[in-house]
Chains A and B, each alone.
Chain A
Amino acid sequence: MKNKFFSASIIIIFIFIFFIFYKGLENSNIYTPKTNVKKNVPFFEAKLFDSSNKIKSEDIFNKNNFYLFNVWASWCIPCKDEHPFLMKLSENKNIELIGLNYKDSILNAKNFLKKYNNPYKTIIQDIDGTIGIEWGAYGVPETFIINNDKIIKRIIGPINETSFLEIKEIIK
């Protein structure tokens, strides 16, 4: 009787463990950071794109309106896909576009903007990728919508039709 109870409990434990691992198989193993958390804009100091002057984060996000902070690079192919959406957003007066030129050569970046137009009001440089890390970004392109010094939306990957409409809805 005791022996039976013993083996039954072992079987139950193994079924339990199997079930947990089996459930684990269904989970996606591709990680995306939580996007719904409202974080503050990180503090940073960066070089401006077209001059040797430095600018602090509080000098960029100093107004009460909406900001779009876009991580881009001339070598990034999806950045070309989202560029038309950025151009459309730059015509909107409710939002100001800030570009973070990520690990790029200035010459290539300038050519990129010449070819596709410049949607950004301010562009800052991130030569070694450390400012991107302050933002919690891990790839290019990535977009943050900021209001009142808080990140209210984050788009990982290029802006598409859906996210473009979502942004328009937010800044209405």
Chain B
Amino acid sequence: MKVGQPEKFIIDGKRLDGRAVDELRPLKIKAGVLKRADGSAYLEWGGNKVIAACYGPREVHPKHMMRPDRAVLRTYYNMAPFSVIDRKRPGPDRRSQEISLVTRQALEPVVLTNLYPRTAIDIFIEILQAQAGTRCTGITAASVALADAGIPMKSLVPACAAGKVDGEIVLDLFDIEDNFGSADLPVAIIPKTGEVTLLQMDGNLKGDEFERAFKLAVEGCYQVYEKQKEALIEKYGGGD
């Protein structure tokens, strides 16, 4: 047993932070928090604190990245040195490059890039504080920031993870469950159609466990989607 590993993750049907197995951490989203960015969002999801900023459409630099038929979408995921318990060495690493890539791939299907050929749309995701599930938090924040910037998109993209601890399928892992649990399954979807734009798995799940975890994560996504819409309604009013 590793240092810090709890003996049991679920006691009397409650998880270590007091949640039920199918309960999300408290989620708060605020749209339009940055004045200089074209669009932005601040998100607190349990212990995760994330800012996403969106710029664009704007001119593409370097020029060779320009595409004559569509806009290029570029995402940058970055963790602050103080976002985790051991100081994170600043700058891009393999992990953040991977997350930047999957974030872009999660958002590309909804952004109508063909409307703005020869331009770039840049998204910056800054993790201020991390408590597991930052890629889901980042995607959720980024899609609110895109909408706030007035970039045409088919839909918002909510993301949420499910996983396995103590042989049970649970929703939205927090750091202890993520570090010492058996599996983590982040999912992002397009709510209207149910299409999946992000699906990764860390750890092992049996076939039926995967089915259950996936279903639970998708349900979580729909809850996140409601919060995203609330954030936009809060800034722009209306919505009935």
A binds B: no
Chain B residues near A (Cβ < 8 Å): none
